[in-house]
Amino acid sequence: MTERFTGNFTQQEPIPEAGIEAALDVLRHGRLHRYNVAEGETAQTALLEQEFAALMGSKYALAVASGGYAIATALRAVGVGPGDRVLTNAFTLAPVPGAIASVGAVPVFVDVTEALTIDLDHLAQIVVEKNAPRVLLLSHMRGHICDMDRLMAITDAAGVTVIEDCAHTMGARWNGVLSGRHGAMAAYSTQTYKHVNSGEGGLLISDDPDLMARAIILSGSYMLYERHLAGPPPEAFEKVKYITPNISGRMDNLRAAILRPQLAGLDDQCSAWNARYRVVEAGLRDTPGLTVIERPAEESYVMSSFQFLLLDWTEREVQEVVRRCADRGVELKWFGGAEPAGFTSRYDSWRYADAPKMPKTDRVLCGILDLRLPLTFSHEDCAQIARIIRDVVSRVYQRAG
């Protein structure tokens, strides 16, 4: 009998009871705006920032409306403006080049490797070119972290400022250093399918008081920046408060209330995701024609999704795998399609960027298949998903071979 999976790939866990109670308290008193507090009260958003800064080991943190807004704010804070060129991964999601375009800048794409990380050889070539971009927006796409020691050596030598997009790596590490602690600023997402869930939301961290002062004013603090428990000292704001525009994108107290208990349980959640990832990894290893992404020893990952490669398969064969898996209840997303579909798109879909063809990256993108691993799946669910994918890939591979 042919196995069929019946789980829901978009069903998340419920919000913790402590988050529900905190949210109800906010709804009952009605002070949702982060700066609307009663006498003696500290806003949920300010507490969230303080707790997130402590969790990440950063001096400062800012809560905002989305991960994309956090990235755009970081770009503005480091001085990126209209016409500037900004380096970023060719393999990423649309909000990353979208954030670059939103400040009037131009994305310059760097190749992706078969490990699904930024190609450091290609990066090293670009940064020494005449008039090379001086900012890298580094996307740790789908939770894969490159050799951060080598990347920082390349960018530091070239005078390139690094902003980390950690939407998929909250709590992950490279060589023991938390993701987001290498660059000048780091942005995180709290959108539903990320590691903590407020529906939409973002967080931004930095150790630089001038960058964070600009970011807080950009986020729409007015002159209420002293209410930020995880903000820089007043003198940092004195330098920028008259020359930094308000581009309102604040997080509200309701979402912050939902997030705070989730942050407290982040380590346990990360362990639970990784356990599911390893079940799928074990089930797919040594499947004919399928490449499992090998993770380096230096990387402590946090994987709420799973990626594998069907390298050098034809478009028709990859689409057949996607279709057959869907018929058996397993939803795979393909990053190699010529047309954007759902959240998947590729660098040549973002035509505002006017990117040249990238054959090395095209080969990798055409082989990437992706599936979500929500914590509502049991370990047996994950094993069944792997069995189905293995069976489908093996059958298509044998027929093609």
- Summarised one tens digit per residue, pLDDT across range 298-331 is 999 999 999 999 999 999 999 999 999 999 999 9
Q: Which residue from 217, 191, 214, 189 is spatially nearest to 203, judged by alpha carbons?
A: 189
Q: Is 172 exposed, middle or buried (0-12, 13-18, 19+ CB in 10 A)?
A: buried
Cβ atoms of 206 and 78 closer than 8 Å: no
How confident is the model at residue 400, as a pLDDT?
84
pTM: predicted TM-score of the whole model, two decimal places:
0.97
| Euclidean distance between CA atoms 159 and 75, whole angstroms | 16
Tokens representing 158 are 């070239």
Query: What is the DSSP pairing of strand 85-89 with strand 106-110?
Result: parallel
What is the DSSP annotation of 107-168?
EEEE-B-TTSSB-HHHHHHHHTSTT--SEEEEE-GGG----HHHHHHHHHHHT-EEEEE-TT
Rounded to 5 degrees, φ, ψ at 213 are: -60, -45
Helix axes 148-158, 120-127, angle to 10 degrees: 10
Q: Which residue from 327, 326, 346, 350 is spatially nearest to 336, judged by alpha carbons?
A: 346
Q: Is 331 exposed, middle or buried (0-12, 13-18, 19+ CB in 10 A)?
A: middle
Hey, which CATH number is domain 266-400, 3.10.310.30, 3.40.10.10, 3.90.1150.10, 3.90.110.10? 3.90.1150.10
pLDDT tens, position by position, 185-209? 999 999 999 999 999 999 999 999 9
In the CATH hierarchy, which fold is given to the domain comprising 17-264?
Aspartate Aminotransferase; domain 2 (3.40.640)
Residues of the chain with pLDDT under 50: none
How confident is the model at residue 83, as a pLDDT?
97
Count how many residues are written for the chain: 401
How confident is the model at residue 1, as a pLDDT?
62
- Enumerate the CATH 3.90.1150.10 domain ranges in the chain, comma separated: 266-400
Helix axes 253-264, 17-29, angle to 10 degrees: 160
How confident is the model at residue 338, as a pLDDT?
85
Cβ atoms of 374 and 10 closer than 8 Å: yes
- Enumerate the CATH 3.40.640.10 domain ranges in the chain, comma separated: 17-264
What amino acid is encoded at 116 in this protein? L
Alpha helices (H) along 159-265: 209-218, 234-238, 253-264
